Structure 1
């Protein structure tokens, strides 16, 4: 122990890289870069933070280059006399990938589902639209909340639901789906699918003339779905990085026929997409037609939303219903005030003139006049 040797000086670079890449915690790579100037240069020039991120999420091989926002970013630090473009690029990548690796492990795991985009079919729009699936409750104001497909005589006809996630960069671990149980129909039928499959991807360029507006870069295995009224968990084999922030759920096969018309339906009450959103710290820019992308670090101080922070759910149908309820409540208040005024005037007339009592002795006649008012 009296003789302390730096293995970087005694081993070839490849062996030194293998040793340092045994570190799994992103913070350990950063700590290693702080041991000495030599270690810092070695970690940065060999892109060890980037290699760690690629090991965690191979989808990052599509990164064309990284950029930092001009606001709140550190300027490259001079090391020795080297100011070459290669050093500046390596230093920038080290900062971006180090913070990205930290986000993969430290950002809160939460529901990353933000907005329903479209459904392959909807039976009764907007009352049964995809927007209802973002609401965890199956009843709102004594009204059922769910998405329903159109009826089909062929039970093999599939359906799809497309969602926008909370960020353009999300590490997804599992997707949870709850089929809808029609509590208002005889027998309480559950309109589940036979199985589900998931696709992750990004939106195409607005100038792209293709009919399909999305590019799906990942397709999962097929998961069987139970015909049960519960939030069912479909865990991905390994965490997947969604680049572009869009999810498509394929609902394959139908099991429940509606008694009223004899057709098969699929109905979903709630959808959760569990994972870590890297927004607003990171953003991406898709490069077409190569399908590569630019990784943008927007801030090194911003993190994902706290675990307990409420997340707004966009549901235009529920918003319209809430507005209608406000109007109804205002009318009810107005009617109550009018009732008090009329009742007060009646009491005054009754107390002021005993000869007019006969006018109000007939309850039916009075009720009729009051209902009209």
Structure 2
């Protein structure tokens, strides 16, 4: 579960990580009033799950309360990478001297958490030409992150010595947040040093393990308080798992693993040219109404160019799934190419039923479904799948 920047910062602050003073709102007039109280200059930031939103016009600055009001009006309601801006975060502008990238994630190769750090102005060059220059520390799952590991990173970054202690405190608190909140990934980008010899997290990201939400009551409350998009509201009401992404292909699956596999295979096969715009996991609730609602959600996606339905069943006859799909599609034909794939008990009979849907393309395997999507979207007559 991805947190918006303001949600992540709210939790960071409660864990002792310094963040700028700010306000999240959906009203431009509230921005003006807050800036009159806070003072200028300020930055106004669109709250969307989009990497690099600043390069897409998602972060604006203002030097007066009225200008902040106008900039908020510009952002609210606009669409950035397929996502509508419903809220903005307005914060005091902080002049930085040094910008640091920090991230914590689980390294599946080493089977341990990993801390990564780099000086921001060098990070993009380093990551592409000298990946070994990104500083890392492997964290023992029992001992946790140790102070000397953070000292080594501070030393290699040539951080001024009077900033070592606040830097160590911030990194240790970030690790405590990562552990306590069941995070899959956390990032401070950038964490800045100032002329006043302080450290502040100007931006932050956090992804929380969905399966941990029942025990993460504070985070669950944040998510429940968040105004939902129409698609997310339909999915919640139907007990469907809706995962919005950034791409061209919508997917309906009955298992999140299938959705993730499809996402990886599609991106890998197309070398990143074709990606999922979203996927909907039926979560073993393969009913006629849920199929109808899933198609309704996908058809409303602004960047949708194709739909893949991939289902597997070991519980019920796949012929029944094929019948439900046929009934759902009789309610309305998608306006984009449709690829259908069913595996499980009686798959041959189910595929025969699906082939009666004249506008649909029936795939026997997930790989074939991926190949079909790429071929249809790229308009190529032949693809060497090897």
Q: Same fold (TM over 0.5)?
A: no
- TM-score, normalisation: structure 1: 0.25
Choose 1 or 2 for highest CA Rg: 1
**Larger helix share, 1 or 2:** 2
TM-score by length of 2: 0.24
